[in-house]
Amino acid sequence: MATIMLTEPFTTPPQRNQRIAYGALVGALSSWPLALNLGLFTIYGTPEFALLVGNVFSYFFNLKRRLILTLNNAKEIAKDTRQFSFASISGPISYKAGQYLEWTLPHEGTDMRGMRRYFTIASSPTEGDIKLGVKFAPQSSSFKQNLRALEEGKTILAGQLAGDFILPKDANKKLVFIAGGIGITPFRSMIKYILDTDEKRDVVLFYSNKTYAEIAYKDLLTEAAQRINLRSVYLVNEKEGVPGGFPVEVEFITPDMIKNKVPDYAERVFYLSGPDAMVTSYKKLLRGMGVPRKNIKTDYFPGFA
Ligand SMILES: Cc1cc2nc3c(=O)[nH]c(=O)nc-3n(C[C@H](O)[C@H](O)[C@H](O)COP(=O)(O)OP(=O)(O)OC[C@H]3O[C@@H](n4cnc5c(N)ncnc54)[C@H](O)[C@@H]3O)c2cc1C
């Protein structure tokens, strides 16, 4: 029950604290020797009853409906990276900057990886549309081939809103965002949200890509540098193709670089988003620098090297 029923994504609440409360409630109820005599019948504290109560609890937190979205437009925002803008025809969706949805795109000739994917909502809740930033591999899955070919006005389904990779409630907390490649999408959402709400947050962004051409959302990041004093450190593996004057460093992130660019790093909360290997290695690097576990938040994007 704990490994299959309790963890079923469709019925678990979207955020960690809610999931802990849900698990504790179901656990406590299923081990409680309950026998509630209601006259006509008696309710016993069975695991089934515990799950039923847990699901009612969870119902209040979950996005209850499957959204139907239509494609407004799609455009290239960096090399092999496209932004898709959708309108929800199922009414507005309430989400926090940095959260993600499970997307379903039924299509013919579905490959082994199926017709569902998780994608971060790259737009901010302050924007009218729902944006995605998607990276395409040279040999894309059938899902991605069909997403790329989706025509304006055509529909896609989304549901199961979830994610704890969101801004801290306390706007005075100083932050460091570390993004690898398409791992920038939750930060795009958060930065746009900060810009639109005029929140005063102190943020430093480290954004790594293999090449300059893969850097997405340059306009927004430049605007944020001017308006909310976002400090961005762009890192690439090769100097080739970088236009003169663009402030990019051909380096990997090192402890010395963090100490140099962010002298008050010990007071900050770090957000890491990107391929598994990158997130794991930077988490290790930060732990080695003495950053406490509670000050490191991670978002893994499987399927990228
Ligand atoms: C919470 C969350 C948020 C995400 N947000 C985004 C986002 O905003 N933008 C985005 O582009 N992606 C995002 N992803 C990743 C996305 O869900 C896909 O896993 C990823 O884009 C790979 O897509 P694909 O399987 O269609 O493979 P493709 O990108 O078409 O293929 C890439 C290559 O990787 C290989 N590959 C793909 N998946 C795997 C795997 N699991 N194991 C081993 N090899 C694999 C394929 O064989 C292929 O060669 C997110 C994932 C999570 C969990």
Determine the longest span between alpha carbons in the chain, in angstroms.
Answer: 82
Give buried/exposed letters for 165-189 (b at 16+ CB in 10 A, else e): bbbeeeeeeebbbbbbbbbbbbbbb
Top mutation candidate among 15, 80, 104, 113 for ligand 1, by most atoms within 8 Å of CB: 113
How much is the pTM? Answer: 0.88
User: What confidence score (pLDDT) does residue 48 get?
Assistant: 85
What number does the ligand 1 atom closest to the CA of 302 have?
19
User: What confidence score (pLDDT) does residue 189 get?
Assistant: 98
Q: Tell me if 201 CB under 6 Å of ligand 1.
A: no
Looking at every residue in the chain, the average pLDDT score rounds to 92
The larger pLDDT score, comparing residue 174 to residue 45, is at 174
Question: For helices 218-227 and 185-197, what crossing angle results, to 10°?
Answer: 40
Distance CA 80, CA 116 (A): 20
Quote the ligand 1 centre to 231 CA distance (angstroms).
Answer: 29
Percent of all residues in the chain with a pLDDT value above 70, rounded to a whole number: 98
What number does the ligand 1 atom closest to the CA of 185 have?
8
What number does the ligand 1 atom closest to the CA of 304 have?
34
Distance CA 284, CA 298 (A): 12
Terminal-residue alpha carbon distance, the chain:
34
User: What confidence score (pLDDT) does residue 211 get?
Assistant: 95
Residue 112 dihedral angles phi and psi, to the nearest 5°? -60, -25
Residue of 1, 27, 297, 21 lying closest to 163 (CA atoms): 297
Q: pLDDT of 75-128, one tens digit each?
A: 999 999 999 999 999 888 899 999 999 999 999 999 999 999 999 999 999 999
Q: pLDDT of 206-261, one tens digit each?
A: 999 999 999 999 999 999 999 999 999 999 999 888 888 888 888 899 999 999 99
User: What confidence score (pLDDT) does residue 6 get?
Assistant: 81
- DSSP strand pairing (100-104 vs 155-162): antiparallel
Quote the ligand 1 centre to 158 CA distance (angstroms).
Answer: 16
Quote the ligand 1 centre to 304 CA distance (angstroms).
Answer: 6
At residue 103, the 3 state secondary structure works out as strand
Distance CA 205, CA 185 (A): 13
Other C-beta atoms lying within 10 Å of the C-beta of residue 277: 12
The larger pLDDT score, comparing residue 269 to residue 55, is at 269
Q: Tell me if 188 CB under 6 Å of ligand 1.
A: no
Nearest CA to ligand 1 atom 36: 303
The larger pLDDT score, comparing residue 297 to residue 302, is at 297
Q: pLDDT of 23-79, one tens digit each?
A: 998 888 888 777 778 787 887 778 888 888 888 888 777 666 689 999 999 999 999
Question: For helices 47-59 and 16-30, what crossing angle results, to 10°?
Answer: 150
